[in-house]
Amino acid sequence: MKRYTCLTILFAMLFAVACKQKGSDAVGNETPNLPDTTEVKAIPAEQLISPGESIGHIKLEGSADSVMQLLGRPDTGDAAMGSQLATWYADHDTAGYQTSIFSRRDMGGKDEPVSRIKKILVTSPWFKTGEYISTGNNIKDIGKYYTLKEGNGYKRNGRSIKIYTDMAKGISFEIDENGKCVSILVHKPNSAADTYLNMH
């Protein structure tokens, strides 16, 4: 009798555990854990590429001096006729990720002393658009969000690079021969003068 009671209790415990596992699986199949899309979409301001406006804390029409205060002295630069190109490399290594700005003074204007940023370029995938587009993405992915027009090309380290621009939004993508984005540039929308400035 004692043995029968023990077996009954053991059977009841096993049945309860089995039912609990089955119920847990059923709930899991009906309501899978989905990621919080609002959290995924929230890109910090310092990483955000805003077409026609800014990359991170660097803003179009901001002063070049403010960027130098932020990033320090540029690793390379060139200046002529009121225009200036400044480039910073990660860890000051020319093989590292690149951030460049092209700025220009309004010669003869009341704002002449200030060199205003007209174009910004980055190569680091750390920077992303609101659609999570960054360097490393392919042109097909980029084309889902931007109306691209093929522009000029150039050679970099023996590779052919083509430039694709969404003029209305104020953003360009430099694409290598494998269709991969290697640089992203932000410029004023619908401004051919700023769009086609050479940053290399």
Task: Kindly tell me if the per-residue pLDDT of 10 is higher than 80.
Answer: no
Asked, for residue 32, whether it belongs to a domain, the answer is no
Domain count, the chain: 1
Find the mean pLDDT for residues 57-65: 96
Asked, for residue 103, whether it belongs to a domain, the answer is yes
CA 43 to chain centre: 9
Q: For position 122, which CATH number holds?
A: 2.60.460
Asked, for residue 23, whether it belongs to a domain, the answer is no
Asked, for residue 181, whether it belongs to a domain, the answer is yes
Asked, for residue 36, whether it belongs to a domain, the answer is no
Asked, for residue 13, whether it belongs to a domain, the answer is no
Find the mean pLDDT for residues 73-94: 92
Find the mean pLDDT for residues 159-181: 96
Residue range of the domain that includes 106: 49-195
Written as six digits, the tokens of 156 are: 């970099």
The structure's pTM equals 0.77
User: What is the distance between the alpha carbons of residues 159 and 181, in angstroms, rounded to a whole number?
Assistant: 13
- Residue-level pLDDT at 107: 78
- Residue-level pLDDT at 24: 35
Asked, for residue 73, whether it belongs to a domain, the answer is yes
Cα-based torsion angle of the residue sequence 8, 12, 15, 20 in order, rounded to the nearest 10 degrees? -170
Task: Kindly tell me if the per-residue pLDDT of 61 is higher than 60.
Answer: yes
- Residue-level pLDDT at 109: 76
